[in-house]
Amino acid sequence: MVFEKELKKLGLKEKEAAVYLACLQLGPGPVQQISRKAKVVRATTYVVLESLMAQGLVTKYKEGKKTLFSAEPPRQLMRLLEKQREVIDEQQHALKLLLPELQVLMKSAAGRPTVRYFNGVEGLRAIRREMMMYSEPGDVWLSFTPVDHLDALLGGERDSYYRQRVAKNIKSKSIFSTRSQRFKSELLDGADALSELRFLSSDLFPSTSGMTIYRNRIAIGTFIDKVGGVIIESSPMADMMRRLFELAWAGAETLEAVRKRQGIHVNAS
């Protein structure tokens, strides 16, 4: 029966679906009547009715000496989905608590770096989620960011991503490029205690890929053509990239200072 198939999709077992449908069709009735209608043996019907009562889909009551069972309104089936959602939420919470410990176990063979690949825009989102989940309050992310290319893909998520980082108290130092003077001004004016930014001309930094160094990892994303990215896990490599970033950070400040002293008008491009 088509209804039984649909009820099974909601999480009911085959006999639970058959007995519940029988109760709906019959109205209040004794076990033997429900058993015949559902084509389930009587002894099993008792067990199935107990299960349905536990799920809030069937009610038992007395009428004289008879024990009758009645189906609850079909809207109660929504409770099945709510329970599934509650279970998933609990499992997600448990997994979030477990992931950092599992990450510690995931060591590369013979000390070699591990490299994992992420495809497409969803892959970039997965990289962001892992960065957020793996980082601890007080961590500092060091980033090279071609803002125009990143914003074209994930600009609509910029504010929510920023709020997540702030909520976890993760600091950020970012060297960014953009061809938009408006964008440049907005970013520099919006810097705060958790966000340090320095601008680098797109002429000097014409990259379409970005990189963030965090913990013992390097996340690299490419934002045009074959969109996606990688996460490299290696403490020596992450330490080397931090040193290179600090050199670039100092260099970006020096370039801006020299240009200002020389009175050179610098466009965002």
Report pLDDT for 119: 93
Statement: residue 213 has pLDDT above 90: yes
Structure confidence at residue 193 (pLDDT): 85
What's CA 47's distance to the chain center, in Å? 40
pLDDT score at 140: 96
The maximal CA–CA distance of the chain, rounded, in angstroms, is 101
d(CA 186, CA 163): 17
pLDDT band at 269; cut points 50, 70, 90: very low
- Considering the domain delimited by 2-79, tell me its CATH architecture: Orthogonal Bundle (1.10)
Q: For 156-185, what is each residue's pLDDT tens digit?
A: 888 889 899 999 999 999 999 998 888 888
The pTM score is 0.58
Residue 192: its pLDDT value, please? 85
Q: What is the pLDDT of residue 6?
A: 82
Can you give the residue ranges of every domain in the chain?
2-79, 112-261
Mean pLDDT across 193-200? 89
Residue-level pLDDT at 93 = 83
Tens-digit pLDDT profile for residues 221-254: 999 989 999 999 999 999 999 999 999 998 886 6
In what helix (H) or strand (E) does residue 145 lie, and over which residues does it extend?
A: strand 140-146
- pLDDT single digits (tens) 183-194: 888 888 877 889
Whether residue 264 has pLDDT greater than 60:
no
Task: Tell whether the model's pLDDT for residue 260 goes beyond 50.
Answer: yes
pLDDT at 258 over 90: no
Tokens 């039984």, residue located: 4
Close Cβ partners of 25 (under 8 Å, ≥ 6 residues apart): 37
**Average confidence (pLDDT) over 146-158:** 89
User: Residue 60 — φ and ψ, nearest 5°?
Assistant: -110, 135
User: Tell me: the pLDDT tens digits for 33-73?
Assistant: 999 999 999 999 999 999 999 888 899 988 888 899 998 88
Write out the two tokens for 62.
């007395």
**Kind and range of the H or E run holding 254:** helix 235-261
Give the integer Cα–Cα distance in Å for 238 and 212.
10
Residue 99 has pLDDT above 90, yes or no: no
The answer to whether the beta carbons of residues 230 and 116 sit under 8 Å apart is yes
pLDDT at 130 exceeding the cut of 70: yes
4-8, 99-103, 175-179: least confidently modelled range: 99-103
What is the dotted CATH code of the domain comprising 112-261?
Answer: 3.30.870.10
Residue 153 tokens, joined:
């893909």
Amino acid letter at 165? R
